[in-house]
Amino acid sequence: MIEIKNLVKHYGDKKAVNDISFTVKDNEILGFLGPNGAGKTTTMNIITGYLSSTSGSVKINGHDILEEPALAKKDIGYLPEQPPLYLDMTVDEYLKFICDLKQVPAKERKEHISQIMDMVGISVVSGRLIGNLSKGYKQRVGLAQALVGDPPILILDEPTVGLDPNQIIGIRKLIKQLSKNHSIIVSSHILSEIQEIADRVVIINHGKVAAVDTIMDLSQRLSGTSKILMSFNGPAKDVSARLKMIPGIADVSIRNPGVPGEVEITLAPKAGNDVRANAFFMMAKSGWPILEFRSLNPSLEEVFLSITAG
């Protein structure tokens, strides 16, 4: 569990981080978003102890990062934006060194390392010089480094950058797997990725927290209640009139998709009402086949853009 309270970091007159507070619960994945220069990297650097905050506190599993740095840092695995790789070492040598640094007991090292390499998919290059690896492999070695010592808290900055689509899926699976018993903060520019894996999301802008919520709630907040798009075969006006009679539906608007016979209707439910079942049954009873039926939630991208527009 990570508790961040009133974090502030000054650089001269500029406030890079201006009163940020949030919590990461155990076994959850928190997405960390923000435009460039919003203070994401600074915040993560402060959480991991690389920088000291000007004021505010960071507590890692109850240990304050400034007062009990060794205990706090032992619980953190950090993959920074630029993976900290020694290009003149082989993957194996490097991970052994990290084990040393993180005080992994000597007996367990060999197995631990091979386990991690399997997890991350770099076993095949374990004897190769890091400087000779492709970007994708380098990235994964960086990720492996964060996993050494099995720290309960992982902070990953752009973990899938440079990876091909297959590898990305693999890493996402891995992160989701890990979240079963780790607290994870993932920062990414690939919003679809965050959308997929994160339980909650923190959006920061200009050094302040602009939003903290689950993605669902966020997009709902933005758009009110989720709208529904339905396209079907049938008389537009009759259907819309029937739909309007369903309790819980606030508004119905018709859109002609241009395909003869098909009608597109947008249903806007009243706040807090889930009208999907009722709408379906109504259409079925009336004998109008539904061709397409989906929720119209604003994507995370829309959420993000609207929040960070100012």
Partner 1 sequence: MSTNEKTPVKNVSKVSKNATSNKKHKNERAHQLKIYAVGSVLILLAIILLANVLLDKVLGNALTFDFSVQNSNVISDASVQFLDSLPQDAKIRIVGLFERPSSFYETKYQYIVPLLDDYQKKSNGKVTVEYVDITKNPGIIQQLDPTNSYNLKTLTGWYVVSYNGKLDVIDPVSCYTIDTDMLNETNSFIATGINTEYTFTNSMMSLVKGFTNKAYFVTGLKENGSTQFKRLLNGMGVEAVDLAVSSGFKVPADCNLLILNGPNSDITEAMYSEIKAYVEKGGKVIISVDYSADNVNEAFPNLNRLLNDMNIIVEHSMVSENDPSYMLNSKINDSQADVTDMFSEFSSEKKMHITLARPLSLTAALNSNYTTDAVLVTSKSATKSVADENNQAKQIDSNPGKINVAMRTAYNTDKPGEVYVFSTVNFTSDVYYEQFTLSDRNADFMKSCVRSMLPTSAQYNINIPVKRLDGNRLNDNKATTSAGTTVMIVFMIVLPVILSSMAVIVYNKRKNL
Partner 2 sequence: MQAIFKREFLSYFRTPVGYVAMAIFTFISGFIFYTQFASGYVSISQEIITLRALFIVIVPIITMSMFAEDRRRGTEILYYTSPIEMFSVVAGKFLAAMALYFVMFINVFIHMIVVKACGGTVDAGVIGSILVFFFLAALFISIGLLASVLTDNMIISAIVAFLFILVTQLLSVIGNYCGTAVSTIMSYMGIAASTRTAANNAVSGFIGWFDPFTKTEDFSLGLFSVSALVFCISFALFFLYLSFRILEKKRWSQK
The residues binding partner 2 (CB under 8 A) are 10-12, 48-52, 54, 69-71, 73-74, 76, 78, 80, 82-89, 93, 97-98, 100-103
| From partner 2, partner 1, none, interface partner of 74 (C-beta below 5 to 8 A by class) | partner 2
Residues 6+ apart with CB under 8 A from 143: 79, 83, 120, 156, 159, 171
Quote the distance between the C-alpha of residue 154 and its chain's center. 13
| From partner 2, partner 1, none, interface partner of 102 (C-beta below 5 to 8 A by class) | partner 2
| From partner 2, partner 1, none, interface partner of 8 (C-beta below 5 to 8 A by class) | partner 1
* Contact window for partner 1 (CB under 8 A) among 104-112, 127-135, 169-177, 210-218: 127-135
* Contact window for partner 1 (CB under 8 A) among 103-111, 123-131, 223-231, 298-306: 123-131
> In angstroms, how far apart are the furthest CA atoms of the chain?
75
Contact 203, 211 (CB under 8 A): yes
Q: Where are the beta strands (DSSP E) in 136-248?
A: 153-157, 183-187, 200-205, 208-214, 227-233
Select 67 or 100, whichever has its Cβ closest to partner 2: 100
Interacting positions 3-22 with partner 1 (CB under 8 A) = 8, 10
Select 137 or 304, whichever has its Cβ closest to partner 1: 137
CA quadruple 295, 299, 303, 306: dihedral sign: negative
Check residue 132 for interaction with partner 1 (CB under 8 A). Answer: yes
Alpha-carbon distance 148 to 45, whole Å?
19
Check residue 134 for interaction with partner 1 (CB under 8 A). Answer: no
Check residue 192 for interaction with partner 1 (CB under 8 A). Answer: no
- Least CB distance from residue 87 to partner 2, whole Å? 7
Query: Computed over its alpha carbons, how large is the radius of gyration of the chain?
Result: 24
Quote the distance between the C-alpha of residue 264 and its chain's center. 33
Select 14 or 285, whichever has its Cβ closest to partner 2: 14
Closest CA to 85 of 126, 140, 164: 140
Residue 233: CB atoms within 10 Å: 13
Helices (H) and strands (E) in the chain, counts: 11, 14
- Least CB distance from residue 54 to partner 1, whole Å? 5
Contact 173, 180 (CB under 8 A): no
Binding residue for partner 1 (CB under 8 A) from 129, 229, 246, 250?
Answer: 129
- Least CB distance from residue 301 to partner 1, whole Å? 35
> Helical H runs in the chain?
40-48, 69-74, 91-101, 106-120, 135-147, 165-178, 191-197, 215-223, 236-245, 276-286, 300-308
SS3 of residue 143 by DSSP: helix
| From partner 2, partner 1, none, interface partner of 55 (C-beta below 5 to 8 A by class) | partner 1
Interacting positions 44-103 with partner 1 (CB under 8 A) = 52-55, 88, 90
Binding residue for partner 1 (CB under 8 A) from 109, 128, 206, 276?
Answer: 128
Select 14 or 285, whichever has its Cβ closest to partner 1: 14
Residues that bind partner 1 (CB under 8 A): 8, 10, 52-55, 88, 90, 127-129, 132
